[in-house]
């Protein structure tokens, strides 16, 4: 991989920017302190931000300016924008490009030549992985209401063009992207576009996979009958979609290809030889996973979905860590168990039941709880508080004693 990647199509709040700043400070000062020298002897891998959609507003929001100034003082930082997203929002990037040459990089959508789109830049930054080339996207939001579904189409189209197999993982509301009867009046039809990309990829001899979580599909009315060999089938989905168990989808996380989401990281692990490490063959190396649970626990499915995915990954021996951050810290408040609550929706009980798994760890980001003036329930065992430095260590390094090539970070 060409350094590290942060990808988002969501708005960047002042709180999120604050921990991103702390993360890059740690990356620069602790992992690559030589980068601060005038003439460093060894090159520092860049930390590239791909900012799409409403993330572009970082350039104009007053509450973002202090964080931006710190970012641009760090030699590892660079950010890439889609010129089309900037144009729609009437944001001029020229003052930033002139002031910070080489760190602010706009990619014009009119440069629609191979290797010239922001998606081609993203795939170039990923580098090569062992095994057949693939790229995955964990889709958790419904199409049209959120831009991420358009990102999937553009990413997969560029991937198929360059010989990379696209893999779609529909989870939570992301299953709606595969509905076969979409009729958007003012938008590209996501379902038809994904069908077309699948056909192109298959014709090129690639191995596209469109997988939908069975539980998410069933709760939204997509699991209609069982076909041959017990396969769950739905007449409401595009023909290429396959309804599978969450465990089946997670089996793809055991592979080494890059998996994106609405907000995600890829961290190129810095190998430290000072302590003994567990070594695996290239075939058995499973990228470690960090999940940031950033939503309040009961207003949406995100927290429950984050824990369910983490547990499924841990069951397949993927080293997994969850950090409750931002509004996710509300998951750990309160002491009484509400009467009449569905057992599967009691987050405290879920955490208690799974915190003893060997490959699953829970953390809570202390600055988020302090900013909200809330106390974490002391009776919840197995959740470790972390400060900004410790949080940066969780995101940038795998669990102690484990040797992996890269680490995935998914923000729920």
Could you write out the DSSP letters of every residue in 59-79?
GT-GGGHHHHHHHHHSTTEEE
Residue 296: alpha-carbon gap to chain centroid: 18
Q: Would you say residue 80 lies in a domain?
A: yes
Give φ, ψ of 84 to 5 degrees: -65, -40
408 with 277, same domain: the answer is: yes
Determine the pLDDT at residue 274. 47
Residue in 172, 212, 402, 175 with CA at minimum distance from that of residue 306: 172
Beta bridge partners of 407: 267, 288
Distance (Å) of CA 74 to CA 19, 103, 410: 15, 10, 24
What CATH number did the domain enclosing 351 receive?
3.40.1260.10
56 with 87, same domain: the answer is: yes
281 with 302, same domain: the answer is: yes
398 with 315, same domain: the answer is: yes
Among residues 261, 291, 316, which one ends one of the domains? 261
Cα 322-118-99 angle, rounded to 5 deg = 95
Q: What is the pLDDT along the chain (412 residues), one digit of tens a residue?
A: 467 999 999 999 999 999 999 999 999 988 877 766 666 666 778 899 999 999 999 999 888 989 999 999 998 999 999 998 999 999 999 998 889 988 998 887 654 455 578 998 898 888 776 667 999 999 999 998 877 788 999 999 999 999 999 999 999 999 999 998 888 888 889 999 999 999 999 999 999 999 999 999 999 988 776 766 667 777 889 999 999 999 999 999 999 999 999 999 999 876 554 445 555 444 457 899 999 999 999 889 999 999 999 999 999 999 999 999 999 999 999 876 666 666 677 888 899 999 999 999 999 999 999 999 999 988 888 899 999 999 999 999 988 877 788 899 999 9
Instruction: List the structure tokens of 256.
Output: 């080494």
**Cα(225)–Cα(20) distance, rounded to whole angstroms?**
45
**Cα(377)–Cα(103) distance, rounded to whole angstroms?**
43
CA-atom Rg of the chain in angstroms: 21
Q: 0.95 cut: is pTM over it?
A: no
Strands (E), 140-208: 165-170
- How many other CB atoms are found less than 10 A from the CB of residue 60? 12
178 with 294, same domain: the answer is: no
Q: Would you say residue 266 lies in a domain?
A: no
204 with 282, same domain: the answer is: no
Domain housing 136: 128-261
**Cα(225)–Cα(217) distance, rounded to whole angstroms?**
12
Q: Would you say residue 267 lies in a domain?
A: no
Q: Would you say residue 158 lies in a domain?
A: yes
Q: Would you say residue 353 lies in a domain?
A: yes
Report whether 131 contacts 255 (CB < 8 A).
Answer: yes
115 with 155, same domain: the answer is: no
Among residues 61, 92, 121, which one ends one of the domains? 121
Give φ, ψ of 52 to 5 degrees: -120, 165
**Cα(310)–Cα(179) distance, rounded to whole angstroms?**
26
* Per-residue pLDDT tens digits for 84-140: 899 999 999 999 888 998 899 888 765 445 557 899 889 888 877 666 799 999 999
Among residues 66, 93, 121, which one ends one of the domains? 121
301 with 177, same domain: the answer is: no
277 with 403, same domain: the answer is: yes
Determine the pLDDT at residue 115. 55
28 with 77, same domain: the answer is: yes
3-state secondary structure of 125: helix
366 with 281, same domain: the answer is: yes
State how many domains the chain has.
Answer: 3
What CATH number did the domain enclosing 107 receive?
3.40.1260
Q: Would you say residue 193 lies in a domain?
A: yes
Determine the pLDDT at residue 136. 97
276 with 408, same domain: the answer is: yes
């Amino acid at each position: 991989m060409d350094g590290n990647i942060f990808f988002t199509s969501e708005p960047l709040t002042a709180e999120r920017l604050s921990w991103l700043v702390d993360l890059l400070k740690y990356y620069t000062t602790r992992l690559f302190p030589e980068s601060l020298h005038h003439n460093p002897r060894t090159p520092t891998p860049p930390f590239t931000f791909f900012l799409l959609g409403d993330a572009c507003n970082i350039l104009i929001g007053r509450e973002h300016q202090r964080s931006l100034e710190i970012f641009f003082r760090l030699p590892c930082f660079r950010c890439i924008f889609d010129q089309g997203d900037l144009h729609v929002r009437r944001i001029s990037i020229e003052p930033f490009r002139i002031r910070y040459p080489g760190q602010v990089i706009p990619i014009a959508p009119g440069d629609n030549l191979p290797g010239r789109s922001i998606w081609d830049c993203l795939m170039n930054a990923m580098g090569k992985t062992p095994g057949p080339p693939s790229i995955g996207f964990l889709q958790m939001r419904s199409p049209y209401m959120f831009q991420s579904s358009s990102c999937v189409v553009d990413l997969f189209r560029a991937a198929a063009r360059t010989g990379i197999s696209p893999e779609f993982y529909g989870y939570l509301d992301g299953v709606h992207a595969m509905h076969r009867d979409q009729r958007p009046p003012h938008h590209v039809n996501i379902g038809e576009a994904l069908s077309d990309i699948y056909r192109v990829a298959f014709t090129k001899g690639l191995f596209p996979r469109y997988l939908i979580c069975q539980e998410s599909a069933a709760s939204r009315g997509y699991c209609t009958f069982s076909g041959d060999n017990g396969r769950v089938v739905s007449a409401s989905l595009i023909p290429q979609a396959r309804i599978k168990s969450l465990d089946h989808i997670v089996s793809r996380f055991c592979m080494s290809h890059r998996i994106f989401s609405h907000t995600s990281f890829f961290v190129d692990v810095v190998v430290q030889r000072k302590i003994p490490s567990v070594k695996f063959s290239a075939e058995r190396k499973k990228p470690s996973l960090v999940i940031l649970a950033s939503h309040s626990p009961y207003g949406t499915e995100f927290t429950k979905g984050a824990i369910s995915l983490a547990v499924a990954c841990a069951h397949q021996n993927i080293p997994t860590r969850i950090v409750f951050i931002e509004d996710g810290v509300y998951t750990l408040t309160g002491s009484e168990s509400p009467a009449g609550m569905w057992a599967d929706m009691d987050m405290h009980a879920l955490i208690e039941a799974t915190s003893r798994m060997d490959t699953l760890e829970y953390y809570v980001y202390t600055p988020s709880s302090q900013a909200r003036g809330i106390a974490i329930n002391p009776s919840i065992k197995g959740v470790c508080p972390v400060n900004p430095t410790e949080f940066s260590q969780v995101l940038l390094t795998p669990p102690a004693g484990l040797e992996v090539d890269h680490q995935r970070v998914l923000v729920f």
